[in-house]
Structure 1
């Protein structure tokens, strides 16, 4: 049986800021650029008490917590700390799958270290992170990947939670279905319409009926409700796409989005600098006031070579949005996709099909 650990750094960006600037410790810290179109990258636990959360518009965060200290993000510094943490994990296993700068899965079924159990390894990793970086991390230990991720959130911050094989079904039964990976608001509503609100109820539902209603994902839901997850840890998973997006405080027409698109292109390009892979496709994402999502994409003859080129292509994609001119938008995003390694021949397929 496999043994998985999910490590999740606690309020990572904000914690790095508080570590490096003692005057911020104990204060509500919001990592974000100020401005009506900025969103929160991270919030310290002191700020979360006021309801501030990641991806929230910065202006809303300021209203919720007027005394918050806003700190512009420094991704170069965060990446350096993330690499320190990654090195600690790799002492214990080569099977490390990063999900982002602040979290990763580990398969410790056959660990490199001499520690006797997955729980002991998780304790050691957390202790080494604290000693060597001055930061805290939460960890979940379980016999399945998706369970380890649920477990790591169970005793945050600075916690450790273990789900043993014989505890899986009892642990899952009372959880709301939204705790299952991939169950968002829409799927949660569809399941609720069937009288299914807990994982236990989902487990009791007929798997074939779920498959008939939701396709392959219905069968996947039934398996997860039974604690079955065949997912494996995939180290060094290559970058497939990178994007940034902003949600506006007030809905805006398409013609008012140029400056935001340029800013997002700059931020996406900065994120792209963290991978050696090359992106072929530029993607523009829009969400209307009615929550309709549109994407437009373009694969130029030569890959984008700068933030300015990325911005230019994203702005050109606006011309391919065929909604009425008075349509208002609540979100815009700029992304890069169709990545390839520098020594590979890039594929010609676009990230998305025809719009």
Structure 2
């Protein structure tokens, strides 16, 4: 069972949805920020019912208890279930595909509908006349590998034929840590916005280091005047809680937003997929600049511990004044 929650679902509500799933099956794999996988083999025997009925039961509980309607795809493999959940129109619904119907159901769908096929790979396949999943399944795996690359081509060819041996791995929602900034007035100037972002970085880094954790990913959420928002996640090259690594990732996220004269009202910087800091490998570096930054980071952490978190931080951005 592949479950899709509404976009921008608050993390607290998403955790409650995962708890509902755990009531149906002990094997639940969280796929943040708003999806999850459920293994149904043992659950079907325990509940003595059909897969579609379990999907409807989940929807009823989710709507009645949380006010959240979910889209549920059920199939013999993860690929079929995830593809089915994406084909449901509307805010919620259940689509169950029996194992013997999977190939016939997939065949007429557009190639980009196959879970795991991104826009770039779909464009390549379409350029070569492969417009449906059925055509992709009919093409030899060697040809697909030449078009998409060895690994991506092999996976695409196998999944189009209904082959997907991946198991559902029980995982809980990874821990996260977030810091927020609210602008007193609508922010238009790039220097002001980047100064606020840097301030969030120097708040988030010490928070992670105090908790003994490191982040595998960083998410930036921007809120605009009028209530709209923008969000993007970037994976870090390796888990880190160092200010410099977080700053580089945060600035790249800001660059990806492509802001021109947008009026910002607030921003949230969230460290995702946290791991124990003791499990992060420390690479020996001969880079004197990086080593000096790490030493300075330790010194600033001691200053904050002694005099308070606001005792040291980025310099304030002052408006430029033209000479008269």
Scaled by the length of structure 1, what TM-score is found? 0.56
Structure 1 match to 2:281: 347
What pairs with 1:1-355 in structure 2 (closer than 5 Å)?
5-11=1-7, 13=9, 78-111=10-43, 113-155=46-88, 156-213=90-147, 214-236=149-171, 239=174, 256=190, 259-260=193-194, 262-263=196-197, 266=200, 269=204, 278-279=213-214, 303-304=241-242, 309=243, 313-314=247-248, 331=258, 340-342=275-277, 344-348=278-282
Take 2:61 and 2:250, find their aligned partners in 1: how far apart are those partners? 49
Take 2:137 and 2:247, find their aligned partners in 1: how far apart are those partners? 47
Shift in Å at residue 139 of structure 1? 0.9
Gaps of 5+ in 2: 179-188, 221-233, 260-268, 285-324
Distance of aligned partners of 1:257 and 1:196 in 2 relative to their CA distance in 1, 3 Å threshold:
farther
**Structure with the higher helix share, 1 or 2:** 2
Distance of aligned partners of 1:340 and 1:135 in 2 relative to their CA distance in 1, 3 Å threshold:
closer
Are 2:51 and 2:96, in contact at CA under 8 Å, matched by a contact in 1?
A: no
Gaps of 5+ in 1: 14-77, 244-254, 286-294, 319-327, 351-355
Are 1:9 and 1:137, in contact at CA under 8 Å, matched by a contact in 2?
A: yes
Are 2:116 and 2:156, in contact at CA under 8 Å, matched by a contact in 1?
A: no
Structure 2 match to 1:66: none
Greater C-alpha Rg? 2
Take 1:238 and 1:164, find their aligned partners in 2: how far apart are those partners? 29
Aligned residues between the structures: 245
Shift in Å at residue 84 of structure 1? 2.0
Structure 2 match to 1:26: none
Structure 1 match to 2:320: none
Take 2:135 and 2:99, find their aligned partners in 1: how far apart are those partners? 20
Shift in Å at residue 12 of structure 1? 5.8
Are 1:284 and 1:297, in contact at CA under 8 Å, matched by a contact in 2?
A: no
Take 2:199 and 2:105, find their aligned partners in 1: how far apart are those partners? 43
Take 1:85 and 1:238, find their aligned partners in 2: how far apart are those partners? 11
Structure 2 match to 1:58: none
CA distances 1:155-205 after superposition (whole Å, capped 9, x unpaired)? 332211111111111111111111123322221221122211111111111
User: Considering only aligned residues, what root-mean-square deviation do their CA atoms show, in Å?
Assistant: 4.4
Are 1:92 and 1:113, in contact at CA under 8 Å, matched by a contact in 2?
A: no
